[in-house]
Structure formats: C-alpha cells, structure tokens
Amino acid sequence: MIVVLKPGLTQEEIHKVVERIESFGLRAHLSEGKERTIIGAIGDERLLADQTLESFPGVEKVLPILKPYKLVSREFQRANTIIEVNGHKIGGKKIHVMAGPCSVESKNQVLESAVPVKEAGATFLRGGAFKPRTSPYSFQGLGEEGLSYLAHAREVTGLPIITEVLDPRDLDVVYRYTDILQIGARNMQNFKLLTEVGKLNKPVMLKRGMSATIQEFLLSAEYIASEGNRKIILCERGIRTYETETRNTLDLSAVPILKQLSHLPVFVDPSHGTGRWDLVPPMALAGIAAGADGLLIEVHSHPELALSDGPQSLKPDKFAALMKDLKKVAEALGREI
C-alpha cells in the first residue's frame, strides 16, 4: 500500500510513521517528492488486520497498490525515474545509446569499437567480460582481464561502461570496474543474484528473459528494488517464439506497456532481438519511435572474426549512419540523442 503523508512534516514525524508501519512487520520505503512524501508499505497487508494507518498523526491517506510488483509500479511512483551515471541522465528527454562489442577479446579490439562509437555519438560503452554461452565449449569471456580492457577504453574515450555480471561470486570485481551492472536474459530469474545487486548503490540494467511475461519481468525488477536499489533500467531484448527467421522476436509492444506500468527507464536491444545486423537499424529506429529511453547495440570492427555474436554486430560505419537516422527520429518525437 501507499501511505501519503501530510505536507510540512518534520523528519522526526516522518520517522514515527515509518516506525509505525514497520511495527506491523511491513517494510517501509520512503519516497520524497517535490510536493508530497509517500511511504510504500511492502509486505503482507493482512498483518495490519483491523489496524488502520489513516488515523495515525501525519498520515493524509492510504492507497492500495493492486499490482503484485509494488515499488517499480506507476501506482507507487507517478513520475519517471531518472538515473544519473557520470553526468548522464537516463530516463529523461535524452535518449542514450550504449554500443560496443558483444565480447571483450583484446585491448585493441575494444578500442577499435569504443573510439568510433564515441565519435558517432554513443554515450556508453558496452562489452562482455563474463559471457553466458549456450555451449560449454564456446568463448566464455576474459573475466577480470576483460574488465581491465573496458576500464582502459573508458579512460581513452570518457565513455562510462556497462557489462554483465553472471554470478554473485563475481559481483565484487565487476562492481569495482563497471558503471552499470547488467543482468542478462538468462539470469532474469536468478533471484540470489537479483537480491545481491539490490543491496548495491549502482545502476542495474535488467534484461527480459527469453520466455518471460511482462509481469514476471517486473517482478524480477521488484526483487532488486525491494533490497533498496531503485536505479533499475529495463531492457527488452526479444523473446523466444516459433519464428526462425530471427534469433528472437523483438517485442516492441513491451516498450509502451512497460512505460505505462512502471516508472523505470526502458531500453531496447535490437542486436539480440533480431540476431541479424541488417535488421538492427530498422528495429532500433522502431524502438525509439515506440518510446524507448535508449538502445543497446553491438558494434565490432571485424564482425566476421568476432568470438561471439558477429552476425548481429554492426561495423562502425554502419553504426555511424544509424546514429544520424536516430537523431532525426528523436527530434521528431521532441527528444534528443
């Protein structure tokens, strides 16, 4: 439920309301806005039994949250969440493009993508140091060595980095290097990992699982938010259907639906969503037209030699051309890249 407080309360008075909520065995999540302070009372509301909070001093009204996901819902927070990373604001007017190779293969290979994507207008560098692969014999990533190459590329280009974490045991080392933690599709329901990243003060990009419903997707985000970390970016990256012409079916209808149901920023990954480099530009443009706050795009200077996902990677010149088109679409929507 949402507990709306009366305006003008002191911090001590707010704290008393929080203590009252927690005395019932519920968890209190404070959200202080410009006009109102609200508290999300999270847990089994049956614990309140015949008790009421509306008569408690300082409480203006109590509203139920009908969705099974509470903290990430529009019911809990009407305004869009804005996440600031190294001066970049994600979730506002500006559309962000995170680009780079699927896998970190060497120091030079990362720079060969990082420099041109920066020149083309990308605002973040993506790259995988730990790679979840379907086959145990496929390239699994360079681990911490790969993270150091990403950090070097950040020093050269100034681009903040986003990289995936697969295992709670790797969380400390990935946390030290990256600016945004990525939870991949295969780990969307790795609840132990979600719980651990929820305890950290670092933005998290959560990708939709390949067979997950939108409600399941938002409930996974709720795991992170319930631990205290509300710097969450949702990413639609395609779902598995019967279609065989593409790697996945990119569900662009998820973008406006997620924007209606949640206050969190929404990104689209057309690279994994299609698995084909020639489909990345049209689906990236469509994603922005659908209302996405950003894109995650794979770029490789020599995709034919890539150790993973070469067929879905754009060459730097193709990426630069796409960025010009994206700017036109963004301007038509009253946004910017």
For the segment 279-312, what is each residue's pLDDT rounded down to a tens digit? 999 999 999 999 999 999 999 999 998 888 899 9
Same domain, 57 and 89: no
Is 179 a member of any domain?
yes
Please report the pLDDT score of residue 318 as a whole number: 98
Is 77 a member of any domain?
no
Same domain, 132 and 211: yes
At 245, is the secondary structure helix, strand, or coil?
A: coil
**CATH classification of the domain holding 51:** 3.30.70.1140
Region 267-279: mean pLDDT is: 98
Is 295 a member of any domain?
yes
> 224 falls in which pLDDT band (50, 70, 90)?
very high
Q: What whole-number percentage of the chain has pLDDT above 70? A: 96
Same domain, 218 and 119: yes
pLDDT digits over 176-219, tens only?
999 999 999 999 999 999 999 999 999 999 999 999 999 999 99
Please report the pLDDT score of residue 50 as a whole number: 57
Is 230 a member of any domain?
yes
Same domain, 210 and 267: yes
Same domain, 201 and 289: yes
Please report the pLDDT score of residue 329 as a whole number: 98
Same domain, 17 and 97: no
Same domain, 142 and 285: yes
Is 76 a member of any domain?
no
**CB of 120 closer than 8 Å to CB of 295:** no
Region 261-277: mean pLDDT is: 98
Same domain, 50 and 147: no
Other beta carbons less than 10 A from residue 155's beta carbon: 9
Give 10-18 contacts, CB < 8 A, sequence gap 24+: 13/57, 13/58, 14/39, 14/58, 16/57, 16/58, 17/53, 17/56, 17/58, 17/59
Is 214 a member of any domain?
yes
Same domain, 6 and 137: no
- Residue 92: pLDDT over 90: yes
Give the least confident one: 140-144, 262-266, 291-295: 140-144
37: containing domain: 2-63
Region 134-141: mean pLDDT is: 69
Is 56 a member of any domain?
yes
Same domain, 46 and 136: no
Give the least confident one: 1-5, 131-135, 192-196, 311-315: 131-135
Please report the pLDDT score of residue 283 as a whole number: 98
Is 69 a member of any domain?
no
Total domains present in the chain: 2
